[in-house]
Every structure is written in structure tokens, then in C-alpha cells.
Amino acid sequence: MTRCRALAVTVTLAAATLLAGCGFHLQGPRVLPAVMHRPYIAASDQQSDFVQSLRRDLLASGAYPTQDRKHASAVIHVRQSVKRRVLSVSAADRPTEYRVTYTVRFSVEAAGKTLLPRQTVTTKRSYTFNESLVLADEHERTILTGAMGRELADIVMRRLAAL
């Protein structure tokens, strides 16, 4: 038993040494420029998956998103759309697969200057549909849309950190 334990400790130490030697480290929160200290997110749907993920990411990076545009150091303008289209149909001409496209258009301005001109980020996912499991399919689509919103928020955060 002690021989197995010694082998496990040796393997663990070897793995830790390899990871330390390759320069691997956890990413941690992104560092945002000072102008992004108190951003205001101007979006028509403040409860969307994207806006909620962006707000959470901003908080994790040390920013304090404000609910009042007057007190904002920068304004992030957001337009978003989620579209679903039929990708394939069955022999009975019923949908069996859909593609969801989540598109976000955003720009950033501060003190009357445009920091980031309008940019578009998009992600697409496909999922199968079974008409006998409608509730499960709707739940899958909700989970998928949430994951897509988080992915797009991460892309936007990288662009904000590069300002």
C-alpha cells in the first residue's frame, strides 16, 4: 500500500513540475482599462443571457456596472438577436434539427468619443428536435442559448480588455 502511495505522490509531483515548467497558469480576471471602471450597458433586454454574463464578467474584472447612465465612465451599446432556423426535416416533413444563431452588435463610447466602433460577434449551434419531447427540447434550447450568451460575453470582454 505504501508503495502505491509513493508512486501516486511521485506522479503528482512530476505532473506539477511539468505544468510549472511549461509556463501554464490560470487566466484569472481580465484587466480592464480605467475608463471601464463604471460602465453602463445600454441594451433593450437587460435580462438576456449575454447581458447578465457580461455584467458578471465586468464585476469579476473589478468594474462596477452602473444602472444610471449619468454616472457611467463608459457606455457599452448592445443590440442582440437570437434566431432559430430549421436545419433538417424528416420524411414526414417535420423539423428534426435546428440551428440557433446568437448575434451581438456592440460599441463602446466614453466622454463623447468612440472607443470601440460597432462590432459584431456571432455564434451558431445546432441541436436535434423530437416532437414527442417538446419540453425537453425547449429546455435544451434554453441551456444552449445561455451557453452561447456566456461565450459571446467572454469574446466581448477580451475586446474590452484590449482597449
Decide if 13 is inside a domain. Answer: no
- CA 127, CA 141: separation in Å to the nearest integer? 8
Domain presence at residue 88: yes
pLDDT for 136-160, tens place per residue? 678 888 899 999 999 999 999 999 9
Q: Alpha-carbon distance 86 to 30, whole Å?
A: 37
pTM of the model: 0.78
Quote the distance between the C-alpha of residue 45 and its chain's center: 16
User: Hey, what's the torsion of the CAs at 84, 85, 91, 96, to 10 degrees?
Assistant: -30
Confidence of residue 67 (pLDDT cuts 50, 70, 90): very high
Spatial strand order of the sheet with 95-110 comes to: 39-43, 74-89, 95-110, 113-128
Measured in residues, the chain has a length of 163
- Residue 146 has a pLDDT of 94
In this structure, what CATH number is given to the domain that contains residue 74? 3.30.160.150
Q: How many domains does the chain have?
A: 1
What are the pLDDT digits (tens) for 83-133? 999 888 888 878 888 899 999 999 999 988 999 999 999 999 988 877 767
Residue 17 resides in a domain: no
Give the pLDDT score at 81.
96
Q: Is 34 exposed, middle or buried (0-12, 13-18, 19+ CB in 10 A)?
A: exposed
Q: Which pLDDT tens digit goes with each residue over 2-41?
A: 777 877 778 787 777 766 666 655 566 678 888 999 999 9
Write out the residue range of the structural domain in which residue 63 sits.
32-161
Helix (H, G, I), strand (E, B), or coil: what is residue 138? helix
Phi/psi at 20 (nearest 5 deg)? -70, -35
